[in-house]
Amino acid sequence: NNIAIGSPVRTQAIINRYFMHAKKNLGQNFLVDLNTIKAIVQAADIQKDDQVIEIGPGIGSLTEQLLLAGAKVLAYEVDQDLPEILHNELPQTIGGQALDQRFKLVMKDVLKANFQEDAGNFLDLNNPVKIVANLPYYITTPIIFDLIKSDLNFVSLTLMMQKEVAQRLSAKPKTKAYGPLTLAVQSRMHVNFDLEVMHTSFMPQPKVDSAVVTLTPLTQKPDIDDYQFFDHVVKIAFAQRRKTLSNNLKTFISDKNEREQFITNLGLDLKVRPEELTLNQFVSLAKALKAR
C-alpha cells in the first residue's frame, strides 16, 4: 500500500476494515496529518539505523514514518486490538529487511516497562536511544518523569502533548506558564518547543490543541544534590503564586526578620514573586534552605 497510514483516507479505511473505534480511556487520537508526522520525525532527527522507542504506536501512523526514515522501532502499546492491525498495515519490508527485523511490539504499559528485558537483542541499549511518542495525554507527566528516572541511555525524548503542558515545560521566568512543572523538568533536561499541532490533525479530534517538544540531557547539570528537596522547595515557593516569595517561605522560616534577612542574603528583593526567579536562583534558594 503506497498511501501512508497517517493520511486521512488510509486511516479511515483501516478504521472501517477492523471495525475500530478510538478508545478515549486510552487517550487514542490518531494523527492524520502527514506533514505533522514528518515534522515529528524531523524534530527527533531520525537517521538511518537509529534505535527508537515509541510509546503508543496506535495504528502505526508515526511508526511507519519512523521506519521509513530508517529507524529500528521498539514500541509499547496496551490496546489488544492493535497488534493485528500493526502487523498487517505497516510496510512488510523496509529497505530490503523484513518488518520484524525493524519493528518489535511490546504489549505492556510503558510505565511498567523493563527496557533492558523488553529490548532483548532487538535493540542494544548500551548504545543511544531516541524516544518518540504521540503520548496518551492523561499520563504525559508520569511518563516523562519515569523516562528521566529510568536507566535508559537516551539522547532525546520527542513528545507530542497537550499544548498547555508543552508551554509549561518550555516556559521562561515571568510568564504565566512558568511554575513547578517547568522547574522540575528544566532542572533535569533541556527543553525545546518544536511545533504546535492543531486539533484538526487528529482523528478523532481532541478538544485541545497539541504541541511537540524535545527534551535532551543537560550539557551542564545544575548544582542540585537532593532533587526531592529541590522539587519540594519549588512547590512551596509557588504555593500561592500571587504572593511574594517571602510570604510563601513562611513554611520554612516562620520568623519574619529572619526570613527577610535570609532572602536579602540570597541577593533577592523582598518583594520578589516566585515566577521571577530563574532556575539558578531556585537552585541557590534550595541549597541555602537545606544548609540552615
Indicate the annotated binding residues for S-adenosyl-L-methionine: 29, 31, 56, 77, 109, 134
Where is 166: in which H helix or E strand? helix 163-169
- Closer residue to ligand SAM in complex, CB, 149/271: 149
- Closer residue to ligand SAM in complex, CB, 62/171: 62
Using DSSP, state whether 236 is helix, strand or coil. Answer: helix
Summarize the annotated binding site as residue ranges.
29, 31, 56, 77, 109, 134
DSSP-assigned letter for residue 80: T
- Closer residue to ligand SAM in complex, CB, 56/274: 56
Query: Computed over its alpha carbons, how large is the radius of gyration of the chain?
Result: 22
Task: Give the footprint of ligand SAM on this chain (CB under 6 A).
Answer: 26-31, 55-58, 61-62, 76-79, 109-111, 134, 136, 139
The distance of closest approach from Cβ of residue 21 to ligand SAM in the complex, given in angstroms and rounded to an integer, is 12
- Closer residue to ligand SAM in complex, CB, 147/249: 147
- Closer residue to ligand SAM in complex, CB, 79/276: 79
The distance of closest approach from Cβ of residue 16 to ligand SAM in the complex, given in angstroms and rounded to an integer, is 17
DSSP-assigned letter for residue 96: T
DSSP-assigned letter for residue 135: -
The distance of closest approach from Cβ of residue 30 to ligand SAM in the complex, given in angstroms and rounded to an integer, is 4
Amino acid occupying residue 271: K
Judge contact between 159 and 136, C-beta under 8 A: no
Measured between alpha carbons, how far is 129 from 156 in angstroms, rounded to an integer? 8
Using CB atoms, what's the residue nearest to ligand SAM? 56
Burial of 103 (0-12, 13-18, 19+ CB in 10 A): buried
The distance of closest approach from Cβ of residue 200 to ligand SAM in the complex, given in angstroms and rounded to an integer, is 14
C-alpha distances out from residue 182 to 188, 278, 284, Å: 10, 11, 17
The distance of closest approach from Cβ of residue 204 to ligand SAM in the complex, given in angstroms and rounded to an integer, is 10
Measured between alpha carbons, how far is 134 from 158 in angstroms, rounded to an integer? 9
